[in-house]
Amino acid sequence: MSVMVHGLGGASTNWTALMRELRDDLEQWAPDLPGFGESPPSGQHAVEDYVADVTSFLERFDGPVHLLGNSMGGMISVHVAATRPDLVRSLTLLSPAMPQYLLPWGAQAMAAMATPRLGEWMLERANREPTEAQVERIAPMLYGDPGSVDREEFSFAVQERMRWIGKPYANTVLLASLRSLVTHYMRPPRRSVWWLVRKVLCPTMVIIGDRDVLVGARSERRWRRTLPRARVIRLERSGHVAMMEYPVAVAEHIRSFLRDASMYQDARVHNVDESYGNADAHATVARGKET
């Protein structure tokens, strides 16, 4: 059983290509976080709120899951794995959004958008642009090689993104989540999510694109220092959403990782009867392999 958590401005459909590759390997669930995709806003869109939402979602299953997270979804997944080890069998992070001192240019642009009033102005101006102009601006921030993405998949991703942007609450949700994310980047060391990483006990794999302009390949070294037992992979020619750019390669890495991690599965301790977080978390689920 696997659960996949999307990133800021994303949706469950970000995982569609990867789910297709893994359909014969795992039962897969990809929730839309509140306010994103087809899930209505909850009014609470800080990282901590999403941690509670994902925790509540995982508690519905009979045992621990293979948890995957991309970007902000990676930070959320670290929180869940560190604080509720009974719910997480293994952790796979794709370009996880983690605090760093030297921000790549894409992250700098996002940080500027978190500025009060400036962020609202930037989004309102961007949303008035023609679709083609928005795609040209956003694609280099997400993809290491936009030309490598399947045209049909790319077109679908653009349509989904534009449909979500058109929702009346999209800007509010995006900015609230972004500002919470930036706040986490500014926390002192002992309150940083990096401190939580040390508490992650389950097998962990981190995939970072060598062309990621939001997370940056520099974070690879930080992961190796902070969690030496983690499997850290630098994916060539990949940007911030490796599962969308190179789903076949990512699926192969996941299969290999889960095979090697299987020795730990029987040792996982789980107790899903405890009540944590928001039990009524909204989630629109895309299902993979049926059982």
What is the pLDDT at residue 274? 28
Average pLDDT for runs of 10 along the chain of length 291: 96 96 95 96 95 98 97 98 98 95 82 88 86 81 85 85 90 96 89 94 97 90 95 95 96 95 48 29 38 27
Name the token pair of 129: 């642009």
pLDDT in tens, 2-34: 999 999 999 999 999 999 999 999 999 999 999
Beta-carbon contacts of residue 29 (< 8 Å; ≥ 6 apart): 1, 2, 3, 4, 285, 286, 287, 288
Strands, E, within 32-185: which ranges?
A: 65-70, 88-94
The answer to whether 5 touches 77, Cβ cutoff 8 Å, is: yes
What is the pLDDT at residue 283? 42
Q: Which CATH class is domain 2-278?
A: alpha beta
The answer to whether 244 touches 153, Cβ cutoff 8 Å, is: yes
What is the pLDDT at residue 168? 94
The two beta strands, 2-5 and 28-31, are parallel
The two beta strands, 28-31 and 285-287, are antiparallel
